Amino acid sequence: MSRGLFITFEGIDGCGKSTQARRLERRLEEEGNASLLLREPGGTPISEDIRKVLLNPDNSSMAPENEALLLAASRSQLLKEVIIPHLEKGTIILCDRYIDSTLAYQGFGRDLPQEWLRQINRLAFELAIPDRTFLFDLPVDVALSRLGDRQRDRIEATGVNFLEKVRNGFLTLAEQESDRYIILDGQNQIEELEKEISSQVLRIIS
């Protein structure tokens, strides 16, 4: 059986990627192509436990290196337990955030070296590079206003300058890998974005 398809959704907090990941899952189901929707950090019981530590606003003293290591640990568990076995079985995997979030948030946002981030995420780079990555780009103030007054998690709460660096980081990564990345205007209508994403994915499947 051929390897499954691996699609990731990326962008700053409030960009709308989670809504689109869920809509694509539904669309694929309607077309008779069942998929598996995952999120990062998370997706396995151990990874969900690590997520709680990572996002807990009480953990304000967490060092950036340890944030990156916990993310890599969560990802490694998800890869071994779910992503790799399912890709081998031919499953379509949709992942709400993946390795590019680490390169953008911990690399461009927290100024950790890209090379070290790639090393601690070696498993992902060697075994499971996404086939397509949808990047939802939009101005930071628009994204933050969408989040409204809801309680921010520890990483979201870092601030506007941080998210500006993350946004620009994602755009740089997309430029470096223009074959894999598809940049979308996160301010477009939800239905328009849905149509564009599903037509791109259905084209790959057929």
Binding positions for ligand TYD, rule: CB under 6 A: 13, 18, 39-41, 55, 71, 97, 101-102, 105-106, 153, 155-156
CB of 32 to ligand TYD, least distance (A): 29
CB of 164 to ligand TYD, least distance (A): 14
Q: What is the 3-state secondary structure (H, E, C) of the chain?
A: CCCCCEEEEECCCCCCHHHHHHHHHHHHHHCCCCEEEEECCCCCHHHHHHHHHHHCCCCCCCCHHHHHHHHHHHHHHHHHHHHHHHHHHCCEEEEECCHHHHHHHHHHHCCCCHHHHHHHCHHHHHHCCCCEEEEEECCHHHHHHHHCCCCCCCCHHHCHHHHHHHHHHHHHHHHHCCCCEEEEECCCCHHHHHHHHHHHHHHHHC
- Is 41 or 186 the residue whose CB approaches ligand TYD more closely? 41
- Is 19 or 33 the residue whose CB approaches ligand TYD more closely? 19
CB of 66 to ligand TYD, least distance (A): 12
- Is 30 or 58 the residue whose CB approaches ligand TYD more closely? 58
- Is 91 or 106 the residue whose CB approaches ligand TYD more closely? 106
- Is 62 or 182 the residue whose CB approaches ligand TYD more closely? 62
